[in-house]
Amino acid sequence: MSDHYETLGVTRTASEEEIKKAYRKLALKWHPDRNTSQGAKEKFQHINKAYATLINPQSRTAYDRGTSEFSNINAFDIFNQFFQGSNSFRTKSVDSIKYTISVTLEQVCCNKSISVKYKRATRCETCLGCKTRDGSLPVTCFFCRGKGQVRQQINLGGIIALPSLGKCEQCNGKGKTIPPEKKCRTCGGGGSSIKENKVVVKCNTILEKSVLYYDNQGAYNVDTGKYGLLQIILALKPHKEFNVIEKSIIKNVGITVFETILGHAGTVVHPNGEKIDYKTPEGELIIQNDICTIPGKGLNNEGDMIIKFKIIKEDKKLSQEKLKKLRQILI
């Protein structure tokens, strides 16, 4: 087991500031996103474990006595917490992104995949979100003295002036600022940059759920060092020929009065391209909104294909052939 003091390159009497300074330099050097050499990830883990143990007075004392130390730590959480300039882990909401995607019935039935491209804030690849060129921490804001708020006067009708607290515009309410000469050249001290991202969505997912969630595919939050959630809402586009109820597909078919008596046969083209033949039972009278059900031909081979009959008007005068067939049935 490596010695934590040796890992950070400090003496056993090192001050808190010396430990922070050593950690800042080593963490940026060995971060896996910046250092791709073999063993960099393990080295980064050791550095963060050493820092987490020695920066806390209680755990440092216990470590010096050989009694205990941190065992399960997340090196990236420690790194993010350190470079946000906080002395405690904070829980802030991260930036979520929401999109609504319309899919066609044909895309669903054919199990098509679509690429969803969008822009999002990503962590700066140069400063790794710490906002500065050399990894130094932001300094306390001179105007609000680190409080993020400044005193203001609110005038009521020009007669009464009430004291109030407002957000410090100099540090945008954060209590910390970065001197211009220290800002990262790539992101300008923002800690993030806008880039295009892509996720692939299977259209038939809408059969099970209409809202999809993707962890860490949202925007990068420089305050927490974490990525937010991507939420994609799937919406089925209205179809000019078919209606959908649950997993069944419904198609309205017009038939004549003559066909209501003699029967009707036809072919419907399924949204997946399959041709499906259907026929009404002989001798069965068809009335308005009667249906013909084709089992297992709904969405994704589930549900049914339902043919709903609508009686349409035709010429009142029937042909001799139609009259002959009607006489055969009725007599």
Quickly state the pLDDT bin for 275 (edges 50, 70, 90): very high
Is residue 284 packed enough to be buried (19+ CB in 10 Å), middle (13-18) or exposed (0-12)? exposed
The pLDDT of residue 158 is 52
Q: Which run of H or E residues covers position 109?
A: helix 105-109
Give the number of residues written for the chain: 331
244, 299 contact by CB (below 8 A): yes
Lowest pLDDT segment from 50-54, 74-78, 117-121: 74-78
Quickly state the pLDDT bin for 84 (edges 50, 70, 90): low
Q: What is the pTM of this model?
A: 0.62
322 phi and psi, to 5 degrees? -65, -40
Res 87 pLDDT > 50: no
Q: Which run of H or E residues covers position 1?
A: none
d(C-alpha 191, C-alpha 180), whole Å: 14
When the pLDDT of each residue in the chain is averaged and rounded to a whole number, the result is 83
Amino acid letter, 70? F
d(C-alpha 52, C-alpha 45), whole Å: 11
Quickly state the pLDDT bin for 132 (edges 50, 70, 90): confident
d(C-alpha 9, C-alpha 226), whole Å: 29
Amino acid letter, 264? H
Quickly state the pLDDT bin for 90 (edges 50, 70, 90): very low
- The CA-atom distances, in angstroms, between 11 and each of 1, 61, 66, 330 are 17, 14, 17, 109
Percentage above 70 pLDDT, the chain:
86
Res 156 pLDDT > 60: no
Q: What single string gives the DSSP state of each residue in 41-103?
A: HHHHHHHHHHHHHHSSHHHHHHHHHTS----S--HHHHHHHHTTT-SS--------EEEEEEE
Res 109 pLDDT > 90: yes
Quickly state the pLDDT bin for 69 (edges 50, 70, 90): low
**Could you tell me which residue, 59 or 69, shows the higher pLDDT?**
59
Beta pairing, strands 248-255 & 304-311 = parallel
78, 52 contact by CB (below 8 A): yes
Res 300 pLDDT > 70: yes
The pLDDT of residue 91 is 37
* First CA to last CA distance, the chain: 102
Res 92 pLDDT > 80: no
- The mean per-residue pLDDT over the stretch 71-76 comes to 68
54, 63 contact by CB (below 8 A): yes
Res 122 pLDDT > 90: yes
- The mean per-residue pLDDT over the stretch 145-152 comes to 81
Minimal CA–CA distance to 130: which of 90, 178, 166, 70? 178
Q: Which run of H or E residues covers position 233?
A: strand 230-236
- The mean per-residue pLDDT over the stretch 273-291 comes to 89
The pLDDT of residue 241 is 94
**Could you tell me which residue, 318 or 43, shows the higher pLDDT?**
43
d(C-alpha 122, C-alpha 194), whole Å: 6
- The mean per-residue pLDDT over the stretch 174-193 comes to 89
114, 237 contact by CB (below 8 A): no
The pLDDT of residue 143 is 84
- The CA-atom distances, in angstroms, between 294 and each of 105, 127, 305, 310 are 18, 62, 5, 17
Q: Which run of H or E residues covers position 24?
A: helix 16-30
176, 84 contact by CB (below 8 A): no
77, 88 contact by CB (below 8 A): no
The pLDDT of residue 71 is 59
d(C-alpha 93, C-alpha 224), whole Å: 8
